[in-house]
Amino acid sequence: FQYHPTHRTTTANKIATTTSCLEAVVSSSRQKRVSGLSDWGKETAGIQVASTVDIKESKISGGLGLVTNGSGVDTEAGSVVVTVPASLALSVELPTGGPDDIGVVKDLVEDRNVFRSLPWYSQFALYFYKLDKISPYKDQAKDVNLQPWLDSLPRKFTTPIHWDVKEREEWLQYTHMVESVERQENSWKDMYSKLQSCCSSRVKDMTWDDFLWGCECARSRAFSGGYTGTSFNPFVYAFTFFLVTVYVALHLGTLEQAANGAAIVFCVSVLQDFVVPKFFKSKKYVICPVIDMANHNSLRATANVAYEYFANSYSLSTTSSVPSNTELFISYGSRSNDQLLQYYGFVEQDNPHDTYVMPPLRDWDIAALEKACGGIAFPSGRLQKLDRAGLLGTSLSNDAIASSIETGEETTEDEGLTSAGNPRGGVVLSRAVGIDPAVIQALRALVSSDEEFEEAGFSVGNFAAEVNPENERKARIAARTAIEMELASKSTTLEMDREMLKRVTSSKTGLQEPEELMAIMFRIEKKKLLKETIDKLQ
Ligand SMILES: C[S@@+](CC[C@H](N)C(=O)[O-])C[C@H]1O[C@@H](n2cnc3c(N)ncnc32)[C@H](O)[C@@H]1O
């Protein structure tokens, strides 16, 4: 069972310095409320937290986190530090299971089909609304009041969806993200009205802010996994054993027949728990009190979340030795800073999964590239060839894109840079790879002479690898020029941003809003990535 979508442990010894919008507004009252969470977890809810671990302020994120205490003793690799009974976890199962608390659908939903069509996090929004505004008890754990956990949740998010359009444009200086947040806002508003239309009158007071809060809690605190079967049920096996014994003892049949019967029970159980859910591509999204306090680190995750089938519980265990007085980190998956800022409210420095999405090739300034490549026009008809090969990106307008995207699809947590996450087919630069190899291929074809193109059989597909050094040089100059122009189009330089960040973080007055601070960090990371890609193309 994995945190969104994979847990990675790396041995890189560099800690990414991050700060979160959300964390920057962690108030002292929240800190106080959180102190009640540990007692509640241990005494009332049956959550086991190792004596070596505390929920306290995280130095890296500036908010709350799970930190080993100052006992001077290392927590060994493989130690289970938190165990949460599954009955206490909140889950939403797709495609059809919905919230595990049957009361959510039974009492609050009138049109189940519409509700089921909503993405997991908007189903969670209704679940949160029920717990927060109607009753803090879950059907599965009727005797446990979840209020202390609800009180530990952040009440305010300052992710870009809360910024106005001008702030997004000015602070982020990055069209791809501005458009992505706009699509998120439109589709979440759509989901909100759908939710209102399918719910009973008990939900009529749910405001857009309630909905947004629920979605954001879900997106920033849930982990997901393919395992969705039932938990291990020892009764089934004990009862089978009993039947086999009786069957044989009463001479109702041979031992072989009894064993065949027992084998069928075993197979059905395995099918039901492991095979059928995989076959139907079921996916469960889970939020676990206390485990949801674990912060993320792409480079240095030291813990992992797992579902314990036989104990029917969720556990957090260390994956490497953790010194005392050190925060535990998990990995939320291979998230770019776009995803981290948009859905979690923070930015990771030198994030190995970071990407930059430039405008699609069709929007590049071809005249400028021709000039940079020696002032000779690229042969005519080449762009049309690239277009037919699907290498220029889409030609839809923003409005057309917005309406062509199915509600919720573009904001699934696994979107990455799929067509939904990159609907205009923008050129992707990534820290790991540099510029998308398909774009270099397209540029080789674009800059090729008529002879080179003829030699390649007039096929763009034959430019997948270098054709000759001169063509390669030009293709790289074209790519570099476009990226340099992208960098030059920003209203501030990397140096100016760094200076601004230094001034703001060292100033006691704290003039900047936390979200603006976050935006400066974000654009520094984006500009660093552009520069790195330019260097790679030298
Ligand atoms: C699962 S919660 C972790 C607990 C959270 N720190 C809290 O106080 O409730 C996820 C949120 O923690 C924060 N966070 C997680 N990892 C972070 C990091 N490396 N740097 C900054 N903030 C982080 C983000 O605000 C994110 O939305």
pLDDT digits (tens, 9 = 90+) for 322-331: 999 999 999 9
Report the alpha-carbon distance of residue 206 to residue 127 in Å, rounded.
Answer: 12
Give the pLDDT score at 4.
Answer: 41
Which alpha helices (H) appear in 135-294, and where do they start and end?
A: 147-152, 165-167, 175-198, 208-221, 234-249, 255-270, 276-279
Distance between Cα 296 and ligand 1 center (Å): 7
Does ligand 1 come within 6 angstroms of the Cβ of 121?
no
CATH code for the part of the protein at 347-536? 3.90.1420.10
DSSP letter, residue 227: -
Report the alpha-carbon distance of residue 69 to residue 51 in Å, rounded.
Answer: 8
**pLDDT at residue 377 tops 70:** yes
**pLDDT at residue 387 tops 80:** yes
CA angle 58, 342, 293 (to 5 degrees): 30
For 298-315, the pLDDT digits (tens) are 999 999 999 999 999 999
CB burial of residue 484 (10 Å; 0-12, 13-18, 19+):
middle
Indicate the Cα dihedral angle 103, 104, 107, 111, nearest 10°. -130
- In sequence order, what are the residues at sequence separation of 6 or more whose Cβ sits closer than 8 angstroms to the Cβ of residue 380? none
* Cβ atoms within 10 Å, residue 415: 16
For 186-241, the pLDDT digits (tens) are 999 999 999 999 999 999 999 999 999 999 999 999 999 755 566 667 777 787 88
Give the pLDDT score at 399.
Answer: 53
Report the alpha-carbon distance of residue 216 to residue 468 in Å, rounded.
Answer: 51
Distance between Cα 396 and ligand 1 center (Å): 36
Which comes out higher in pLDDT, residue 251 or 269? 251
Residue with CA closest to ligand 1 atom 14: 295
Strands, DSSP E only, in 292-420?
295-296, 303-308, 313-318, 329-330, 346-348, 355-358
**pLDDT at residue 87 tops 80:** yes
**Closest Cα to residue 413, out of 219, 212, 273, 262?**
219
Report the alpha-carbon distance of residue 94 to residue 413 in Å, rounded.
Answer: 14
Beta strand 64-68 pairing with 53-57: antiparallel
Strand partners, 286: 91, 223
* pTM score of the predicted model: 0.87
Distance between Cα 320 and ligand 1 center (Å): 21
Report the alpha-carbon distance of residue 171 to residue 523 in Å, rounded.
Answer: 8
Distance between Cα 222 and ligand 1 center (Å): 12
Report the alpha-carbon distance of residue 518 to residue 342 in Å, rounded.
Answer: 11
Give the pLDDT score at 252.
Answer: 80
Give the pLDDT score at 9.
Answer: 31
| Mutational pocket test of ligand 1: of 290, 291, 296, the residue with most ligand atoms within 8 Å of the beta carbon | 296
Report the alpha-carbon distance of residue 31 to residue 45 in Å, rounded.
Answer: 20
Contact 241, 258 (CB under 8 A): no
**pLDDT at residue 10 tops 60:** no
Report the alpha-carbon distance of residue 433 to residue 429 in Å, rounded.
Answer: 7
Contact 296, 247 (CB under 8 A): no
Question: 18-226+285-338 has which fold?
Answer: set domain protein methyltransferase, domain 1 (3.90.1410)
Does ligand 1 come within 6 angstroms of the Cβ of 514?
no
Does ligand 1 come within 6 angstroms of the Cβ of 297?
yes
Does ligand 1 come within 6 angstroms of the Cβ of 344?
yes
* Whether the predicted interface score ipTM is above 0.90: yes
Report the alpha-carbon distance of residue 423 to residue 405 in Å, rounded.
Answer: 8
Give the pLDDT score at 409.
Answer: 39
Give the pLDDT score at 47.
Answer: 95
For 136-148, the pLDDT digits (tens) are 999 877 889 999 9
Listed by start position, the domains of the chain span 18-226+285-338, 234-281, 347-536
Mean pLDDT, to the nearest integer, of 247-271? 78
For 414-468, the pLDDT digits (tens) are 456 666 789 999 999 999 999 999 999 999 999 999 999 999 999 999 999 999 9
CB burial of residue 45 (10 Å; 0-12, 13-18, 19+):
buried
Contact 517, 505 (CB under 8 A): yes
Report the alpha-carbon distance of residue 147 to residue 298 in Å, rounded.
Answer: 32
Does ligand 1 come within 6 angstroms of the Cβ of 289?
no
